[in-house]
Structures are given as structure tokens and as C-alpha cells.
Structure 1
Amino acid sequence: MSATKTIKDLTAGTAGGVCQVLVGQPFDIVKVRMQTAPKGTYSGMVQCAGGILKNEGPLAFYKGTLTPLLGIGVCVSIQFGAIEWMKRFYSSRNLQNGTGGPGGLELGHGQLFVAGAVAGIANGVVSGPVEHIRIRLQTQSATNPIYKGPWDAMKKIYAQRGIAGIYKGQAITLIRETSGYGVYFWAYEKLVQREMRIKNIRRDEINPANAVLFGAGAGYVLWAVIYPIDMIKSRMQTDGFSPATGQKYSSTWNCVKTVWKTEGAGAFMRGLGPTLIRSPFANGATFLGFEMASRMLNA
């Protein structure tokens, strides 16, 4: 398993991550605001987005972008580096066992899910703190912000709570990443396999538009599985935002029980609208960026 190939995968993954952030960030800030606001704050995503535009201006939709642009670029790079390494590992094993078709390349359902889950775990080590800082910046007051930017947020959180503060919400993040990326990459790769099999073509011959469509489909599968988990993660990472609000939740499980008791089942799906709108664009752009960069690097 060539180190050169892994470096190319990481580079192509970074390209995918940058595409994801630039396309998805405005939708994401609306999602996070709706997830973390008290019940009844917003009547819907249009009112939330309109309020952000009116009170904070158009650039507010890219508030906290520096952190995800750097961090998510790294995260997606890790995701693709890990998934491609796992795919090569399973392909090699399939070849030895005489399974998986020519070259052992057609991985099974379980192999793809496990490969995606491993990619999610690897990604979660970085995505946890990156998303924590991003969410803090996205949800702080525009008129009296606690943090001046991502580095200021990291310094202040570390000074107050140490490394545990930076990794706040990490347990629920790892649950989300493992389950989510297991189904995410499974869905995408199965669609790619089907396209290659039906048209009898190589991966690099797949129409780029189909990479966008497959990525969009995989994104919907991802969010269908992880959205309630993501909502709890957002709540945990904004809990104890300031001395004025204090800390509401003693643990992840306490957060789940408290939200269910005080806000009902609907709270676990709050903010789903902008996520469903964002998902095909952001995930389609991610896979398009990765596939196109891979083709260029391997040409």
C-alpha cells in the first residue's frame, strides 16, 4: 500500500473538504442556530435565516468559516485517506480469497460499512474540537461576542477547562461519526459500483455529474441516520456557553433525557430543513472535489 497513494488521497480529500465548506457553510449556521436556540425562538428556517441577514448582515452566514475551512479540510482529508486505505486493504484480502471480482475491487456491504466507520473514527479525533469551536462562534452574540475568532476561542476554552474543554462533546461526536460515515461511504461506493458494473467503465470514466448525484444521495443517507445525534452534539458543545446561562446538562444521556422531557421528540429534528437543503449541494461538492482531484493527481 503505497505512501504516495495515501498522500494523493489526503490531498484529494482536502479539495473535497474545501468544496464542502464553501458550499455548505451558510446552511450550516442556520441549522446550528435552530438546533441550539430555546424552543419557540424561530418559527422556521426562513425566519431564522432572515433574522441572521437582518441583524448580522450577509457575512454572518460565513461566521466561523476559518475554523471549518482549515479544520474540515483536514477532517475530510482524513476521511478519504482512511476510507481509501481501508478499501485497498479489503481489496487485497478479497483478491487473496478470490472474491470481489477482478482485482477484489467490489467490496461487500459489511466491508464498506466498516471501512466508513473506521474513516469516521479517524475523522472524529479532529472534527470534534473543530466543530466545537465553529459552533461556539456561530451561536455567540453578534453585538457582544465572547470570542474574537477561532484562535481566541481555543485559548479561552483551554484556559478555562483545559484539553477536556476543547474536546467537549467528543463521545457523542464519535458515535455520530462512526455510524454516519459507515452508511455514508457505503451508500456512495455502492452507487459507484453499480454505475461501473452497468456501464462497464472504470471509476475515472464516471460522469462528474453522477459523482455529484451519488454524493447527494449518500448525504441524505448520512443525515437520515445521524440527525438526532447531531442535535445532541450541538447542544452539548454549546452548553455552558457563558456564566450567565450556566451548564444545563451533566452528561450526554442527561442531555437526551432533558430535551425529550422539556421539548418533546420534535426537538431532535429541529433545524432539519436547512440540513436537507444543504446536504445535496455540500456532499455532492465534496465527492466531486475528491474525484476530480484524484483524477488530476493520478493522471
Structure 2
Amino acid sequence: MVPPLGRKFYHSSQTVKMVGLKPSDVPPPLGVKVLSAGTAACIADLVTFPLDTAKVRLQIQGEKAAAEAAKDIRYRGVFGTISTMVRTEGPRSLYNGLVAGLQRQMAFASIRIGLYDNVKNFYTGGKTDRPGVGIRILAGCTTGAMAVSVAQPTDVVKVRFQAQMNLSGVQRRYSGTLQAYKQIFRLEGMRGLWKGTLPNITRNALVNCTELVTYDLIKEAILKHNILSDNLPCHFVSAFGAGFCTTVIASPVDVVKTRYMNSPPGQYKSAVNCAWTMMTKEGPTAFYKGFVPSFLRLGSWNVVMFVTFEQLKRAMMISKQRMEATA
């Protein structure tokens, strides 16, 4: 059985024997959690990346630069957007920015998800096996902010690749991931690579808190009331609930982040100015552009990521125990 987040456990094999726990009840070490989180997030990205690209296209629709590039192309709904992209740009366009996306997840998810339990225990001093919601939110905010500070350049490149169109007669901003990093640094400096850090920290603090804390609480409640055992159905339900709550709370900040990071120099003075421009020119509904693909993407991403994360942790721990047994 894989222990739920938030429960206190014993680490040494001697203590495991003394209290009668199975070896699989021992919590995975930090390295296992970090590697499992990054790998699971990459797998989830591979599955859901077309939905993320459709979300970005819907979010930037209405901007002047996007309108000039698209001209007569109009995106309607997530599947309509995917269909239009395949018809006008080819199926490969759905995976624009995938390399940067995978780089982002290895740097980002490994920190925000892999360190969550350890940061949570740090704030409680290891004195409680059921930390309050406030502690969980604080831990989520902390790991989310840490992850953004490291992975922001990969996010900028990913969004810009997803936004650019592979149309004949339309000049592409970037031809490759490495070239994109170099060009952004040359033309916009370090500030360009970390463009949109503040809205991204805000967005990912919200996402991380809602995602991890909701998953944590739903899973804990399911196990506490013996509704399901700690297996795939439990992980699926917890992840799906976390995905929906996260989309509702984080969508407005996500739209602002996407538009601001994708904007050319000088279009917006700041992320706040970007939000104000959206409100005055397009109305409050602009903040929920791309909501359906956001939910489809976050919901499916959470399901794939958390289910894979739990299975990878279990597999790595079993492998580690077998190696120790034969040593």
C-alpha cells in the first residue's frame, strides 16, 4: 500500500520490524519522490500536450498580433481548435513546444510535487501526522514559487512555441528550442527569459495549492471513510477532483500569464496592465477563455500524473528494497 500524503511514518528498516509495518509502508526518500514526480509529469505532458496547445491558442485569440497572423482562421472550442490546427498547420503543430514542455516538467514538477511532503513536514517540525489546511496551503505555495523561479525560462519558450503558427507566408518567431532561448536572451535579456514570473508564481501558487492540497484532502477522506482502498480508483477520483478545482481557481491568472509571456516587448507594461487591458477591451469573460480545454487538460493531466506518480513511487521503492535485500 502506498501511504497517503500527510501521514507520519517510520523510516528505518529496524523500526519497520518493531511496529509491524510492511516495507511498502515506508515513505520513499526525497530522491525517489523528485524523480517520480518529474517523470510522471513528463508522461502526463506527452498525453495531454495537444489540449494544452489548444488552450494557449484560445487564450491568445483576440490579441492583435494573433489576429493578424491567423487572419481568417477562427478557433471555436477545444476540439474545434485541434481540428483547425491539424487542417491548417498539420498534426505536428499540436506538439509545438513539446521539448521545452518536457524540460519544464523535469525542472518544475520535480520541485513543486516532489518536495511537497518534505516542505510540509518542515513547517510542522514533524510533530503532527495530519497538518492543517493552512500548513498544506503554505507548503504548496512554497514549492510552487520555488519551482517557478527555476523553470520560468522553459515556460516562456513553451508558450511562445505553442502560440506561433506553422502557416505558409507567416514568419515563425523561433525555429528550435535552443535557438529560442538564445534569441530571447539576445533581444530581451534575462528579463525576457523570466518574463511573466510574477503572474506565473501567482498562478502556480494557486495551482500547486489547489492541486496538491485538494488531492491530499480528497484522498485522505476516501481512505479515512474506507470508501476505496489506496489504489488506482482512489488516485483517479482524487486527481479528477483536484483538476476541476484547480481549473476554476487558476484560469484567470493562467490566461493573463499566457498572454503576457507571449506578448512582444512593449505591448503590455506589466502583468497587471495586461489584465486591465483584457478587462476593458474584452470584458470579464476573457479571463475564462479556453476554460474547457484548461479543464480537459488539467483534469486529464492530473489523472495521468498522480496515477503514474503513485505507481512509479511504488515501483522504485520495491526495486530499492530488493536491491537492499540482495546487498
TM bin (shorter chain): 0.7 to 0.9
Where structure 2 has 5 or more consecutive residues not aligned to the other structure, the ranges are 1-9, 12-27, 68-73, 319-327
Q: CA deviation at 1:58?
A: 1.4
Matched, 1:80 2:104: no
Deviations 1:98-141 (A, max 9, x none): xxxxxx32221111111111121111113422221011111113
Where structure 1 has 5 or more consecutive residues not aligned to the other structure, the ranges are 95-103, 241-245
Residues in 1 aligned to 2:150 and 2:61: alpha-carbon distance in whole angstroms: 25
Query: Where does residue 70 of structure 2 map in the other structure?
Result: none
Matched, 1:61 2:88: no
How large is the RMSD of aligned CA atoms in angstroms? 2.1
TM-score (normalised: structure 2): 0.80
Greater fraction helix: 1
Matched, 1:264 2:283: yes
Pick one of 150, 161, 169 that aligns with 2:196. Answer: 169
Q: The residue matched to 2:126 in structure 1 has which SS? A: helix
Pick one of 249, 260, 281 that aligns with 1:225. Answer: 249
- Opposite residue 144 of structure 2, the aligned amino acid is G
Pick one of 270, 276, 283 that aligns with 2:295. Answer: 276
- Opposite residue 48 of structure 1, the aligned amino acid is T
Aligned in 2, Cα 1:209/1:127: closer, same or farther, shift over 3 Å? farther
Pick one of 149, 152, 173 that aligns with 1:128. Answer: 152
- Opposite residue 296 of structure 2, the aligned amino acid is I
Aligned pairs (5 A) from 1:159-198: 159-198=186-225
Higher Rg of the two aligned structures: 2
Deviations 1:133-180 (A, max 9, x none): 011111113133121111110000001111111001111111111122
Residues in 1 aligned to 2:75 and 2:266: alpha-carbon distance in whole angstroms: 22
Residues in 1 aligned to 2:275 and 2:227: alpha-carbon distance in whole angstroms: 48
Question: How many residues end up aligned between the 2 structures?
Answer: 281
Q: CA deviation at 1:63?
A: 1.3
Residues in 1 aligned to 2:227 and 2:279: alpha-carbon distance in whole angstroms: 50
Aligned in 2, Cα 1:258/1:118: closer, same or farther, shift over 3 Å? same
- Opposite residue 169 of structure 1, the aligned amino acid is G
Residues in 2 aligned to 1:232 and 1:80: alpha-carbon distance in whole angstroms: 24
Pick one of 42, 59, 74 that aligns with 1:35. Answer: 59
Pick one of 51, 66, 69 that aligns with 2:84. Answer: 51
Query: Where does residue 7 of structure 2 map in the other structure?
Result: none
Residues in 2 aligned to 1:8 and 1:200: alpha-carbon distance in whole angstroms: 28
- Opposite residue 148 of structure 2, the aligned amino acid is G
Pick one of 36, 59, 62 that aligns with 1:12. Answer: 36
Aligned in 2, Cα 1:107/1:26: closer, same or farther, shift over 3 Å? same
Query: Where does residue 253 of structure 1 map in the other structure?
Result: 272
Residues in 2 aligned to 1:7 and 1:46: alpha-carbon distance in whole angstroms: 38
Q: Indicate conservation of the 8 Å contact 1:19/1:282, yes or no.
A: no
